[in-house]
Chain A
Amino acid sequence: NAGVTQTPKFRILKIGQSMTLQCTQDMNHNYMYWYRQDPGMGLKLIYYSVGAGITDKGEVPNGYNVSRSTTEDFPLRLELAAPSQTSVYFCASSPTGSGANVLTFGAGSRLTVL
């Protein structure tokens, strides 16, 4: 069971470039999330989805976009990358019901914008 898989693991972007962070889960979880983690800080919610076709903004959505065409996949799009987007990005998923707050995380994607 792979759990939550993120790609790429590392990426360096130039200011103004765009890219997509991929995330897929094989646990049939309805809920999926994107968080960013800055050095010495906790996790900040960027976007989340409660099911295919449904997405909503989290705490820090500016500069990002997401889509959820299937239950398994939840890609995060960065448009016009800025140095402030240098961070480690984590995708996570959880089931519905009483387990909704129990998140399974991917291994993270470290992004540097120069």
Chain B
Amino acid sequence: TQLLEQSPQFLSIQEGENLTVYCNSSSVFSSLQWYRQEPGEGPVLLVTVVTGGEVKKLKRLTFQFGDARKDSSLHITAAQPGDTGLYLCAGGGNTNAGKSTFGDGTTLTVKP
């Protein structure tokens, strides 16, 4: 069973601060996804990373895939209250069957 560990589990910061969330595994993934989930809603895809060492930027969010494709990080610059939510990483297997493994998530609260 492939496992993904996310850290920290909870993060509470003030508006304008920077933060980094980590997603680590001992397994290699063919791709890794980051989702954001708001209360009462399903997760919504933020980004997919596929290539080892890949860096993708989405406005104030920067995503990085580890060189060995076993880990990833999400960095948010100048966090805003609208960034509040549960951030989930998910790793895809090599069979393209779509059976993603999810981490337990990081709950982010950004205070105004």
Contacts and interface: CB of A to CB of B under 8 A. Distances in A.
A101 B104 contact: no
A97 B96 contact: yes
Interface residues of A, number: 29
**What DSSP secondary structure best describes chain B's contact surface?**
loop
A48 B90 CA distance: 16
Interface in A26-40: 31, 33, 35, 40
A42 B41 contact: no
B72 interface: no
Interface stretch (B14-22, B43-51, B54-62, B76-84): B43-51
Contacts of B103: 42
B72 to A, nearest CB: 13
Interface of A: 4, 31, 33, 35, 40-45, 48, 50, 58-59, 90, 92, 94, 96-98, 100-108
Nearest to B104: A42
Interface residues of B, number: 28
A32 B103 CA distance: 20
A45 B45 contact: no
Interface string B1-41: 10010100100000000000000000000110100000011
Contact of A31 (B4, B41, B42, B98): B98
A50 B96 contact: no
B55 to A, nearest CB: 19
B102 interface: yes
A58 B93 CA distance: 14
B41 A33 contact: no
Nearest to B88: A42
Given A102-B48, A103-B45, A107-B41, A50 B100 contact: no
Contacts of B100: 45, 101, 103
